[in-house]
Chains A and B, each alone.
Chain A
Amino acid sequence: MQHYTMNLTLKVWKQKNSKTNGAFETYQVKNISSEMSFLEMFDVLNEQLVAEGKEPIAFDHDCREGICGMCSMYINGRAHGPWSQNTTCQLHMREYKDGDTIVVEPWRATSFPVIKDLVVDRSAFDRIIGAGGYISVNTGNAVDANSLPIDKQKADEAFQAATCIGCGACVAACPNTSAMLFVSAKVSHLALLPQGEPERKTRALNMIHQMDTEGFGSCTNIGACEAECPKGISLENIARLNREYLGAMFSGSATGGA
């Protein structure tokens, strides 16, 4: 692979906090190596800003290996940038060429208020998990792990759903800011396993209730979430969540879902 360097123009969203309005600022960066990651390019820019006595750009990031779900940039109209099944931290600069202009925005949704610049508050996701995204098993209550064989295909499907990293790209990409892909991934993960069976109905209803309370938009099956999900979580999960909801809705129980 040929390595090269490039000069770029960056238009980055700057916003002091959730109470003020933001605006774009334009920056120039020079001699960016094609081997850098996108966030390393931001490191270069921030070092440059610190040296110039200016304030660096705030952005969320942590593991930089595509698994923690903390990074969250909307790059040239794409959540996590142009590569499919990818997080911002794994996007590399060989995607760009000399002279390119890159526009970087935060996730935009009322349920994800901006904290500063490109940093948003995604705690709504935690509250949705807290509303039911678990199996109620206290430490020490477990039986032997192999006492319950699980169909490999089901286990694999559950795993696929469980690979969600909770980054919020689905919400950011959705024209409605719906969190259905996130919620459906967790509901699917647990509904597919026999361990999740006892709480299956209340789990789906309670998580949906919390999702609505948090103010996420509603799903209209557009599919942008699936296209932008860094972990390739499938719309199939949303279909399953809908089934779970219908199942819970028409079953005899009148509890759950507050």
Chain B
Amino acid sequence: MALNSKIPAGPLDAKWKTYKSTCKLVNPANKRQLEIIVVGTGLAGASAAASLGEMGYKVKAFCFQDSPRRAHSIAAQGGINAAKNYQNDGDSTYRLFYDTIKGGDYRAREGNVHRLAEVSANIIDQCVAQGVPFAREYGGLLSNRSFGGTQVQRTFYAAGQTGQQLLIGAYQGLERQISLGNVEMFSRHEMLEVVKIDGKARGIIARNLVTGELERHFGHAVLLCTGGYGNVFYLSTNAMGSNVTAAWKAHKAGAYFGNPCFTQIHPTCIPVSGDHQSKLTLMSESLRNDGRIWVPKQKGDNRKPTEIKEEERDYYLERRYPAFGNLVPRDVASRAAKERCDAGYGVGSSKMAVYLDFGAAIERYGKIEANKQGKPNLDKASIIALGKDVVKEKYGNLFDMYEKITGENPYEVPMRIYPAVHYTMGGLWVDYELMTTVPNLYALGEANFSDHGANRLGASALMQGLADGYFVIPYTLGNNLADDIRTKAIPTDHPAFVAAEKEVSDRINRMMNIKGKESVESFHKRLGKIMWDKCGMGRNAKGLKEAIEEIRALRKEFWSNVRIPGDIKEYNPELDKAGRVADFIELGELMCIDALDRNESCGGHFREESQTEEGEALRDDENFMYVAAWEFKGESKFELHKEELVYDVVHPSARSYK
């Protein structure tokens, strides 16, 4: 099947406007007859379900957590970008578009990204109207901060809990629609299969995680808003339950998987402390606004950080990238940290960490505060105390979190940080309308591949999730369903539902009956190690080929030796996890295949074979300026389809932050 991205014709800044004014509509009476399934209730899912409910569609929403409010969007800390130009610092829709395309290392679609930049301002308006308590200045107007990869201040935030506040806003809108009866909510449910009838997605099979029963749900369209697959690495900043299962089932049902190898490794996370580690915790990128990253100039320096003098420190980001300094994009900052640690300059007991130091910021803020209070001649200790208060107001919750996890006080000693898997730019391939290659099956938010290219800029994930849910899908869904108004709800005793349910049931039974020796957790850890070592921050052909073999062997072992306690028809978290890990194993293989195919370095994908003499990533536009969309062809068989990327407006150049 040839890929058709359905990008509207016309000049870039007119595409979305034209689309909106010419797309087909569904009249209100017909909307009431159309049923929509939304899987996942993070920013994309909750905003989509609420908006579609408001419009009059009959919506069913699903989440595996106990409440839609728990989705992992809630953990996003730093902020959300919008081209409001409230700071009068030269921001514009075009500049946000340009920064995002460049930040993504020219591997995203111009049309999609421009649309994202266009609706970004509406998102802030919508959220403020919902009561999202963004940070404000004393004059009562909204405050902004800057984030990596940009030179303007366009990030709106609510302390270090922006994702929480945005999600709660969307969740409240969703709960309102639930109580009005427009949305039916199924929490503690997991989608395990897409049901296709006449080639179109017409429903799902979901498992009630409390009773273990399988359920059939019909929908004229199915929206997957199921987030990213970072947990394929076992350790990531994702929630424990974050998984690829829904997306993977869709992939196996015919939806192409776009750029699976594009993974974002976030530079500022709390380092691993031991084998027991179950997840990694992010320290918001916003900390890089004020924190300075350094390692000792001397190899293997074991002194306490406070004993290492200024001239003995190597502020390597400021040294290597003077224009952006500590605010280089995430992929660049992560690789630089890895480079220092691999070269033997790492700190902490594991030596796999660098310092993020607030000493200078505390002093600087203290001086400003002292001046504000009319005490310019204050002693140093008092200045530091004032500065700590300022830093506390900005980042207090992050500092508290760091102290709880490590037992160290970051106001006194620099934080230790190290990169960790954070976000997956890859995902289900979708066209301009967010539809996958399976008609009537959509993917929104992190679950799709569309807007971030090979590297996502900070504060853009929240923007994309909400853009898709609030402002894109309400139009594009109608454009498609306008042709579906004569389709009556299909009863769930249709053979396609029966067959799909049987397939799910058989798979669960097969898994339960293995009764092997090794726990699900153990398989997951082993997969994570392969992925991190060979498909992590640095990748090469040899390693990837090995990884593919190892993963295939791991899959065989899983299906012959996994041990799942308990029963099927009950609350059984081990069984839930087993299904997810089984899918992660299959996905891991595809990620490595994709990474092997893409013999260039771009964004978060760093092929060691493709770098400059200075060790910077070397892109190969001539051979790899495409989206890799993989079609599932049976076990371990994937066929590559290429969507060539066309740049009409921006001119791809070597990405430089120097």
Contacts and interface: CB of A to CB of B under 8 A. Distances in A.
Partners in one complex: yes
Which 9 pairs, one residue from A and one from B, show the smallest C-beta to C-beta distance? A149-B140, A130-B179, A134-B172, A142-B129, A159-B133, A142-B125, A130-B175, A145-B128, A139-B51
Contacts of A122: 66-67
A40 B164 contact: no
B133 A155 contact: yes
Contacts of B128: 142, 145, 148, 195
A193 B54 CA distance: 23
B141 A149 contact: yes
A203 B554 CA distance: 54
A134 B165 contact: no
B239 interface: yes
Interface of A: 1, 17, 33, 35-37, 39-40, 43-44, 46-47, 49-51, 53-56, 58, 60-70, 83, 85-86, 90-92, 94, 115-116, 119, 121-123, 125-127, 129-131, 133-146, 148-152, 155-156, 158-159, 162-163, 165-166, 189-190, 193, 195-196
A213 to B, nearest CB: 13
B279 interface: yes
B67 A126 contact: yes
Nearest to B159: A159
Interface string B150-177: 0000000011010011001001110110
A33 B521 CA distance: 19
Given A69-B69, A193-B131, 6 more contacts: A129-B69, A130-B179, A139-B47, A139-B126, A142-B128, A150-B136
* B51, B65, B66, B474 pick with most chain A CB within 10 angstroms: B66
A163 B273 contact: no
Given A56-B574, A125-B67, A145-B128, A68 B239 contact: yes
B125 A144 contact: yes
Interface in B9-66: 47, 50-51, 54, 65-66
Contacts of B566: 55-56
Nearest to A137: B129
A212 to B, nearest CB: 16
A39 B240 CA distance: 11
Nearest to A51: B519
B138 A37 contact: no
A140 B126 contact: yes
Contacts of B139: 149
Interface in B319-363: none
Given A137-B130, A155-B133, A163-B161, A62 B239 contact: yes
A163 B406 CA distance: 23
Q: For B84, B135, B168, which residue has the most chain A Cβ atoms within 10 angstroms?
A: B168
A136 B53 CA distance: 13
26 contacts: A1-B406, A17-B570, A37-B405, A39-B278, A43-B276, A43-B278, A49-B565, A50-B521, A61-B240, A63-B72, A86-B404, A91-B404, A94-B407, A116-B570, A125-B67, A126-B69, A137-B130, A138-B51, A140-B471, A142-B125, A143-B129, A145-B84, A145-B124, A162-B131, A190-B131, A195-B128
B419 interface: no
A54 B404 contact: no
Interface of A is mostly: loop
Contacts of A50: 519, 521, 563, 565, 574
B573 A166 contact: no
Interface string B520-543: 011000000000000000000000
A134 B278 contact: no
A65 B278 contact: no
Contact of A129 (B134, B171, B521, B565): B171
Nearest to B349: A3
A193 B67 CA distance: 25
B68 interface: yes
B519 A40 contact: no
Nearest to A16: B570
Contacts of B519: 47, 50-51
A62 B172 contact: no
Contacts of B54: 138-139
A35 B270 CA distance: 13
A92 B521 contact: no
Contact of A159 (B68, B165, B565, B573): B165
Contacts of A115: 210, 571
A137 B126 contact: yes
Contacts of A43: 276, 278, 521
Contacts of B408: 1
Given A70-B70, A162-B133, A190-B131, A56 B175 contact: no
Contact of A139 (B138, B405, B474): B474
A121 B178 CA distance: 18
B75 interface: yes
B647 interface: no
A127 B179 contact: yes
Nearest to A1: B407
A186 to B, nearest CB: 8
Given A44-B276, A63-B239, A145 B142 contact: yes
A241 to B, nearest CB: 16
Contact of B278 (A17, A64, A143, A193): A64
Interface string B464-477: 00000011001000
